Structure 1
């Protein structure tokens, strides 16, 4: 990474998420960029995640009384100043020396929440000590119930408010960009919260490393139900795209689901998550918590997500670009920009608060 210039020299040029990406690309080495920017295979899903938000146009409304408007929301009992959460991103010290400490601090200062990755490069307790807002902990199944529950209990003891079980990556995506770059973690950066290697089954001749190896340790619906019963924290399932899976998640005891394709990093050619939002909301009903991520770069994208059925959204790569550019200050500033964009979009569409946002503010571009 190249040294950061004084913020005063670039501050006037940082007015959108795209600006932070431009500066981050100048500062990160090819190894870190391959990990951050890359997706699975031909990265078709990565591209679709960005394009999909342009499939809907906003229909503004005029002359409504919007005095006292706001973008506050309540998630799992916590009131947030805006519905933009920081998604779990692994190994954040790849991008800035303060890593997860900086992003958690920025999220809280800006009245929001952050989700810490299982593969964080900072101990979850240290992150909780500096956080000034709610933290959720993202869990990858640790091979069996007791080890997974122990990590959940550790997070609860540190003050985390929810458990986000990621279910869409039982095997890693084939990420060609990382392969070409020869990606490897630099010395001193590792997943400090899950430092025990899982013991994979010994394969017999003719067995598959995927189906008989990694998937032998992957959870199924019975394990999800067990975790929901025993977890000290409410559990959300992240990586759900099928409405029937969303219903199964609630039946297993989940508090909600996060509609996601893992940022296009696992399975290429997947549907972008927003395409499934209306069907997902219909499947889970009006009371279940429903979040979405993938390709959100503007506050107007957040408004569209809520109009399609989401309660809140998560962002990933954009805040890491801000982290790489300007540390905690950059992440806080990005959240400020996105919140202001969201509230301006709400006002221009005649929505005084998030509950006023409905499908009526959207038109499909192809229908125009």
Structure 2
């Protein structure tokens, strides 16, 4: 029995009680009801008028699936190969920082849940819990580390080396956040959790960062927060700087935040191992192109030389089908699992991921395909 059928049978036969709502819209609404306004909007809101955030989802609707009939889809294979490893599903947990604002265990609970489902977890530089603690929580699950490149390059190098030592299997360098975008709700609420000591766990346990402090963080947290505010982000980075990170690790390096095909070409030229097409869920540049719009052209210029992944707007199985059919090797999911975390901790994350994968599996079968590797643009029509 394939994944989606197994989940359906478990729910119907055992009358399993959902720990979180199944639909994304109800999931988000329940999280909004539970959380205080400031942390909820820190997760849910985006830059400016949130035009890009809305278009991330709306743009999926321009692509329609055209199912094929009378094809034996009894057995399905959702697995994909990435950097020499087999992923059971083309789904990863996107790097989301400051998860402690929605649940005390934060990234630890999410990493534990992801590992239990078999979904790789991408741990953020902006985690409240250190990358070592997150790695331990994820046990044998596949983990990648996302780097916000500090203006102090030795801190960036230290974090990359720590990640490799802790068992992370790839480095994701986020390019679109050399500074934070104009997020109206966060401004309105005067809410930046980093200034309260949340989301800086990787800094507080980093030997290079701590060497820059007059006193250890446990003695002077305010001083550590002040130092963090001075080194987070690096608007001076150029393509030539990528060689510095390459020199720090033997792990594959992916660039996250690529939307322009010329930047995709440069990623290959500068020896990067992968691309993540993303507009940061609409949180950085309001009015930017949606990720799914940018994906086909980027895949065309990359032409299979390196893997292309995608995030920003993935909410259901059909979204994953469309992204993979348009050339993505896999997708990253962010807000949905964070809402699951807010509502029910690791059990909530686990159920959100399980439901998403079951939806993917059933949609694949009902589209007349038996493997995600069979998906291509012939399955879709643009309206």
The alignment's TM-score, normalised by the length of structure 1, stands at 0.89
Q: Distance in 1 between matches of 2:278 and 2:58?
A: 15
Deviations along 1:321-341, one digit per CA (max 9) or x if unpaired, are: 010011111111111111111
> Residue 170 of structure 2 aligns with which residue?
162
| Structure 1: 5+ residue stretches without partners | 1-7, 200-212
Cα drift, residue 133 of structure 1: 1.0
Instruction: Please give the root-mean-square deviation of Cα atoms over the aligned residues, in Å.
Output: 2.2
Deviations 1:141-165 (A, max 9, x none): 1224433221100000000000000
In structure 2, the partner of 1:139 is 147
Counterparts of residues 343-358 of structure 1 (less than 5 Å)? 343-358=361-376
Alignment partner of 1:314 is 2:332: yes
Alignment-derived partner of residue 101 in structure 2: 94
CA distance in 2, matches of 1:295, 1:310: 14
1:11 aligns with 2:3: no
- Residue of structure 2 in register with 1:33 after alignment: 40
Candidates 334, 338, 352, aligned match of 2:356: 338
> Equivalent residue for 2:158?
150
Q: Relative to structure 1, is the Cα distance of residues 230 and 215 closer, same or farther in structure 2, using a 3 angstrom cutoff?
A: closer
Q: Distance in 2 between matches of 1:217 and 1:340?
A: 41
Any conservation in 1 of the 2:341–2:348 contact (CA below 8 Å)? Answer: yes
Give the counterpart of 2:198 among 189, 192, 197. 189
2:245 corresponds to 1:237: no
What is aligned with 1:48? 55
Partner SS state of residue 291, structure 1: strand
* Aligned position for 2:236: 218
Cα contact 1:291–1:313 (8 A) shared by 2: yes
**Relative to structure 1, is the Cα distance of residues 60 and 289 closer, same or farther in structure 2, using a 3 angstrom cutoff?**
same
C-alpha separation in 2, matches of 1:306 and 1:114: 19
Match of 2:6 in 1: none
Q: Is the 8 A contact 2:19 2:344 kept in 1?
A: no
C-alpha separation in 2, matches of 1:65 and 1:269: 43
Partner of 1:265: 283
Deviations along 1:100-140, one digit per CA (max 9) or x if unpaired, are 01111111111110111101000111111121311110001
Q: Secondary structure at the residue paired with 1:115?
A: strand
Match of 1:80 in 2: 87
Whether contact under 8 Å (1:152, 1:233) holds in the other structure is: no
**SS at the partner of 1:225?**
helix
Residue in structure 2 matched with residue 125 of structure 1 by the alignment:
132
* Equivalent residue in structure 2 for 1:277, among 292, 295, 314: 295
Question: In the superposition, relative to structure 1, how do residues 11 and 214 fare at CA in structure 2: closer, same or farther (>3 Å)?
Answer: closer
Q: Is the 8 A contact 1:141 1:218 kept in 2?
A: no
- Equivalent residues of 1:34, 1:183 under 8 A apart: no
In 1: Cα distance, 2:35 partner to 2:211 partner? 31
Structure 2's unaligned 5+ residue stretches are 1-14, 213-230
Q: 1:113 to 1:286 in 2, by over 3 A?
A: same
**Aligned pairs for 1:281-296 within 5 A:** 281-296=299-314
Deviation of residue 187 (structure 1)?
A: 4.7
Return the offset for 1:299.
0.5
* Residue 295 of structure 1, CA deviation: 1.0
